[in-house]
Structure 1
């Protein structure tokens, strides 16, 4: 079964975007540093994005994931895809992802946002979370976490910090025994 990893940056106060959806507050990595992004990217062959996240990624210029299979979940009629590797999905995310996990392949990267991540977390479909905590307080914006109807235990797999204050919290979710 394929692994699903939520790999995402968040402000220290838990926001993944400004109130207008922008991510201009995200820092530019120091020269020669990518916070492990390249190492992570080679483990994945599929991405999952919500419609708002997809639209945000499009503002960055050329489509950044042309070699991956990209699924964009939307309730709106799809516009033209940014790249042939993009497929719009209108069906229930949990049902779609349950089937996708059974297919052959590498890691599935849950890019976000929180509207997509919430039902996948609630359904127990997220295996790991790699949270990059940005040393910034936004005060408001689009939250990383949506209301969950139950608690989920986490197992800390590793942490890492960088001189600029960026910190990685890497957790395992699925398959953890309840205490």
Structure 2
């Protein structure tokens, strides 16, 4: 069975973006390390599918670059109807049913890109198999949380932790 991997960065206070969806704080030059991709390349090699919420998709479209995952099957979960776009299929059906079925299909792992609402929904349904969370040494004070308010308590088993010279700390965990 395919695995759903939540690979994401968060501020020390638990936000994945500013209130308006801005993630520019992740790309601060101070955090750049020559030759280090924080496991991103290995993640991309292990997946053939991405899964994201509509707001996250809109943030990605706002980057000044072409769509970054054209060689993957990309699903965008949305409550509203949208016509499929280049490299993207929109999913309006129940997200938990969709992801359960997706996990049963043949293929590589599935990258859960986010955001907070989708993360919470799939966490509550027990559909996230791995968590690779990178903590960035910044406090945003407000924003879009990694998991929405009301998320139930969930114990995770830490498989590995890594610290980087730039202050990032990455945890690899499983339920």
TM-score relative to the length of structure 2: 0.93
For 2:43, the equivalent position in structure 1 comes to 40
Structure (1 or 2) with the greater helix fraction? 2
Among residues 51, 56, 70, which one is paired with 1:53 in the alignment?
56
Conserved? CA contact 1:127–1:172, under 8 Å: yes
Structure 2 CA distance, aligned partners of 1:57 and 1:76? 18
For 1:93, the equivalent position in structure 2 comes to 95
Moved over 6 A (4+): none
* Matching of residue 155 in structure 1 with residue 153 in structure 2: no
- Length, aligned pairs only: 171
Tell me by how many angstroms 1:94 deviates.
Answer: 0.1
Residue by residue, what CA displacement relative to the aligned partner does 1:55-78 show, whole Å, maximum 9, x if unpaired?
Answer: 101112200001110000011231
Unmatched tracts of structure 2, length 5 or more: none
Conserved? CA contact 1:122–1:148, under 8 Å: no
Structure 1 CA distance, aligned partners of 2:84 and 2:121? 26
Among residues 66, 71, 79, which one is paired with 2:75 in the alignment?
71
Residue by residue, what CA displacement relative to the aligned partner does 1:55-106 show, whole Å, maximum 9, x if unpaired?
Answer: 101112200001110000011231551x2x3100001100000100000011
TM-score relative to the length of structure 1: 0.91
Tell me by how many angstroms 1:20 deviates.
Answer: 1.1
For 1:22, the equivalent position in structure 2 comes to 22
For 2:133, the equivalent position in structure 1 comes to 131
Structure 1 pair 26–62 and aligned structure 2 pair: CA distance change class (3 A): same
CA-based RMSD: 1.3
For 1:120, the equivalent position in structure 2 comes to 122
Q: SS of 1:159's equivalent?
A: strand
Q: SS of 1:98's equivalent?
A: helix
Unmatched tracts of structure 1, length 5 or more: 174-179
Tell me by how many angstroms 1:31 deviates.
Answer: 2.5
Q: SS of 1:26's equivalent?
A: helix
